[in-house]
């Protein structure tokens, strides 16, 4: 029994040493970013979730055209704005989100052939917002005041659309869209 223990002791010590080395520390890196801008505003939405309802493939009668029955309105605006620096300065919203390949105005993150199209309620029919578009919210007056931007909103419409009228994918559509404040 002593002979077995004395021959196993060096093996056990070797295993313990190897186990200690296997728990070496790993590194982690954090990248911190920020931007210095001339003025800021907070962006707000009338709703954070917009349910466009249930629609069948037969409802998609035109390519890249929202299903009329699916269209719903919402507002996006700016508040808690700083006073603009100069008369004529502008408050804008930049729209971004994942879109379907070859269709920069059909937002969708699920990879199907259906998605969501957006338009300004005041825009002519057939004028749709693309990812990367800059929407004018307000322009500062000749003598800039905080109220020039604060509380200004845009009314938009969202509707389901597809890249085809045949073979429309069945399933959930998920289209996260980001509205970011841009000064001038």
CA distance 105 to 107: 6
- Please report whether residue 21 resides in a domain: no
Specify the CATH number for the domain of residue 118: 2.60.40.1090
Q: How does pLDDT run across 75-108, given as a tens digit for each residue?
A: 999 999 999 999 999 999 999 999 998 899 999 9
Q: Is the dihedral of CA 129, 49, 169, 111 positive or negative?
A: positive
Domain that holds residue 116: 42-164+175-183
- Please report whether residue 96 resides in a domain: yes
Q: What's 152's DSSP letter?
A: -
Give CA separation, 38 vs 27, 28, 83, 94, 156, in Å: 37, 33, 10, 16, 27
- Please report whether residue 93 resides in a domain: yes
- Please report whether residue 33 resides in a domain: no
- Please report whether residue 2 resides in a domain: no
Which of 93, 83, 87 is CA-nearest to residue 136? 93
User: What pTM did the predictor assign?
Assistant: 0.80
- Please report whether residue 79 resides in a domain: yes
- Please report whether residue 65 resides in a domain: yes
Q: Is the dihedral of CA 96, 97, 102, 105 positive or negative?
A: negative
Q: How does pLDDT run across 38-76, given as a tens digit for each residue?
A: 788 999 999 999 999 999 999 999 999 999 999 999 999
User: Average pLDDT, whole number, for the chain?
Assistant: 89
Of residues 35 and 150, the one with the higher pLDDT is: 150
- Please report whether residue 15 resides in a domain: no
Total domains, the chain? 1
């Amino acid at each position: 029994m002593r002979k077995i223990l004395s021959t196993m002791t060096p093996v056990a010590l070797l295993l313990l040493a190897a186990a200690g080395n296997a728990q070496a520390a790993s590194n982690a890196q954090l990248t911190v970013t920020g931007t210095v801008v001339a003025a800021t505003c907070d962006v707000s939405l009338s709703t954070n979730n917009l349910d466009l309802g249930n629609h069948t493939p037969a409802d998609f009668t035109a390519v890249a055209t929202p299903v009329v029955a699916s269209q719903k309105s919402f507002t996006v605006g700016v508040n808690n704005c700083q006073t603009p620096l100069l008369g004529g300065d502008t408050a804008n919203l930049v729209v971004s989100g994942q879109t379907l390949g070859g269709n920069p105005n059909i937002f969708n993150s699920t990879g199907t052939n259906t998605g969501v199209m957006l338009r300004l309620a005041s825009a002519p029919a057939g004028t749709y917002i693309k990812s990367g578009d800059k929407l004018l919210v307000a322009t500062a007056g000749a003598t800039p005041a905080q109220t020039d931007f604060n509380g200004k909103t845009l009314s938009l419409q969202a509707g389901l659309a597809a890249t085809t009228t045949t073979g429309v994918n069945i399933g959930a559509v998920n289209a996260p869209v980001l509205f970011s404040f841009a000064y001038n």
